[in-house]
């Protein structure tokens, strides 16, 4: 009896703000949405080929560490886990990203439920997320964003539960998810900053007056400590990269930020987003969730100021979308007997899915990809890597057999190096070297390798060859599909050697971006 009374009292505390319990979870219907998404992503995961970043993660997974110069360790670790469990293939690598994004769709449904949505609102929120461009792109391929989106959504769910119930123990869940988030991408700090600042401005501030908050911070720091220590020990190279990216791409990021906010979800979801923002600010039943109505615009303005990428804050916009699911369902049901709005929401999802599948996933033949590549560069990044490696092999074969044991392949970027690492053994090529990102840390060529150098680079890069002697062009990369991606037209040159030992010139060949 005493245990029952404690449970009743705890439930009363949990629902003190809402005055009513949460609606039942639409587990079966949401599972159907998740299964459909998983089936679609799996069916298309083997088309085209690896993305540039996936080739990099694949090699990074063979050099597991507490950190890398350009990222924390979680994504390479998960890439290694996926290929170990499911095979060292494109499809095997991508299982982990598919499962993560499907889990993210389930979390979106739970967020809609947390915000008072019934079964229909939960299913609609899940369907909107599953048909969004950002979920389809990042569920299709392995990227740091694949896991970042999921962790932002998970932290948002835990934070909403904390705000709704006032139960400080949820700080432990927030801290654990945030600590794991730091091990994937430091952008999770933006979410924590945005929500904290918003709670200070609009409340409920009472949740901050808890020792559980300190415990949550300690949990997050304990989980993130190995990577933070690694970055500190190496001079915080990731900050150097972040500053360089902002300086190089900041103007373009600012110009595209606002339109891409809608493109990454779907323009047809704008009414739902508007409804979600209005509800977060005006609905007295979820007054406790108001910080999320402020956090998104606050971080959006911050990203515009610093030139951050548009996708950095998209998970918060997904939370706003989930908030808009309930009013959208009520609107659709208002005249459902007359049939005037009965199919409005399914039609909305179908239109978004039809457009986003074509733009986000490899459904078109590569020869028809140029228009799509202009909107979604990630599509083109998955085409042409075997052809690039075959082109490098033609240059390698020009080296006399008795000199190949002292010859070296050097590439401008990690995508080229990752491609040669993956496909090179089929052509008898040795392991490549590159000064780009963490490839530079995985070793310079030995000084004894003073023979010919096969150099791979963009035609516009006029500086990479300054340490190499007697270079001549041997071949030009052609992906065979007429696709104008970054590697189309890359130059392969054969050089006699270097102007100094590798140990001397290697620091000058390092590039962070």
Alpha-carbon gap, residue 76 to 28, rounded angstroms: 33
Q: What is the pLDDT of residues 480-503, one digit of tens each?
A: 999 999 999 999 999 999 999 999
CA 134 to centroid of chain Cα atoms? 9
| Residue 332 near residue 343 (C-beta atoms within 8 A) | no
Alpha-carbon gap, residue 124 to 402, rounded angstroms: 66
pLDDT number for residue 203 = 85
pLDDT over 60 (residue 94): yes
| Residue 195 near residue 327 (C-beta atoms within 8 A) | no
Alpha-carbon gap, residue 491 to 105, rounded angstroms: 42
Alpha-carbon gap, residue 408 to 452, rounded angstroms: 7
Contacts of 221 (CB under 8 A, 6+ apart): 179, 228
Q: Considering the chain, what percentage of its residues have pLDDT values greater than 70?
A: 94
CA atoms lying within 13 Å on the CB side of residue 391: 26
DSSP 458: -
Provide φ and ψ at 256, rounded to 5°: -95, -5
Average pLDDT over residues 261-277: 94
Q: What is the pLDDT of residues 285-329, one digit of tens each?
A: 999 999 999 999 999 999 988 888 888 999 999 999 999 999 999
pLDDT number for residue 10 = 36
Tokens of 332: 């659709």
pLDDT number for residue 13 = 38
pLDDT over 50 (residue 11): no
Tokens of 345: 């929401």
pLDDT over 60 (residue 9): no
| Residue 495 near residue 398 (C-beta atoms within 8 A) | no
Provide φ and ψ at 73, rounded to 5°: -90, -10
pLDDT band at 18 (very low <50, low <70, confident <90, very high): very low
pLDDT over 50 (residue 152): yes
Tokens of 147: 């896991």
**Residue (of 175, 104, 162, 158) closest to 136 by Cα position:** 104
Q: What is the pLDDT of residues 60-83, one digit of tens each?
A: 999 999 999 999 999 999 999 999
Q: What is the pLDDT of residues 371-399, one digit of tens each?
A: 988 778 899 999 999 999 999 999 999 99
């Amino acid at each position: 009896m005493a245990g029952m009374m404690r449970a009743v009292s705890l439930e009363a505390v949990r629902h003190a703000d809402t005055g009513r319990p949460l609606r039942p979870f639409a587990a079966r219907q949401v599972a159907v949405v998740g299964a459909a998404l998983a089936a679609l992503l799996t069916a298309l995961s083997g088309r085209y080929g690896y993305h540039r970043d996936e080739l990099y993660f694949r090699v990074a997974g063979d050099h597991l560490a507490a950190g890398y110069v350009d990222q924390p360790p979680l994504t390479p670790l998960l890439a290694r886990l996926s290929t170990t469990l499911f095979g060292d293939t494109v499809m095997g690598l991508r299982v982990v990203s598919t499962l993560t994004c499907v889990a993210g769709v389930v979390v979106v449904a739970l967020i809609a439920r947390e915000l008072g949505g019934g079964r229909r609102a939960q299913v609609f929120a899940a369907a909107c997320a599953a048909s969004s461009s950002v979920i389809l792109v990042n569920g299709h391929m392995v990227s740091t964003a694949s896991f970042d989106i999921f962790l932002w959504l998970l932290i948002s769910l835990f934070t909403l539960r904390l705000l709704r119930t006032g139960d400080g123990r949820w700080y432990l869940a927030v801290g654990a998810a945030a600590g794991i988030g730091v091990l994937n991408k430091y952008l999770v700090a933006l979410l924590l900053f945005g929500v904290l600042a918003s709670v200070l401005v609009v409340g409920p501030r009472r949740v901050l007056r808890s020792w559980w908050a300190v415990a949550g911070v300690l949990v997050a720091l304990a989980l993130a400590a190995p990577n933070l220590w690694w970055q500190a020990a190496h001079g915080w190279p990731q900050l150097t990269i972040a500053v360089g990216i902002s300086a190089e791409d900041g103007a373009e990021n600012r110009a595209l930020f606002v339109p891409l906010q809608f493109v990454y979800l779907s323009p047809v979801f704008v009414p739902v987003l508007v409804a979600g923002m209005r509800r977060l600010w005006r609905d007295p039943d979820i007054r406790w969730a108001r910080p999320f109505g402020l956090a998104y615009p606050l971080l959006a303005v911050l990203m515009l100021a610093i030139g951050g990428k548009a996708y950095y804050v998209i998970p918060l916009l997904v939370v706003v979308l989930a908030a808009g699911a309930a009013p959208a369902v009520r609107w659709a049901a208002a005249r459902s007997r007359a049939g005037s709005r009965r199919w409005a929401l399914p039609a909305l999802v179908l239109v978004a899915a039809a457009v986003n599948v074509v733009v986000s996933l490899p459904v078109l033949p590569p020869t028809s990809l140029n228009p799509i590549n202009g909107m979604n560069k990630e599509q083109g990044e998955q085409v042409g890597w075997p052809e690039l490696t075959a082109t490098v092999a033609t240059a390698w074969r020009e080296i006399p057999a008795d000199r190949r044991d002292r010859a070296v392949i050097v590439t401008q970027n990690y995508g080229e190096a990752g491609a040669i690492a993956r496909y090179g053994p089929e052509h008898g090529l040795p392991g490549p070297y590159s000064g780009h990102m963490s490839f530079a840390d995985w070793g310079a060529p030995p000084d004894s390798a003073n023979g010919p150098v096969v150099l791979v680079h963009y035609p516009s890069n006029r500086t990479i060859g300054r340490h190499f002697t007697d270079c001549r062009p041997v071949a030009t990369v052609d992906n065979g599909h007429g696709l104008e991606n970054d590697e189309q037209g890359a130059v392969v040159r054969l050089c006699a050697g270097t102007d100094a030992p590798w140990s001397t010139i290697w620091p000058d060949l390092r590039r962070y971006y």
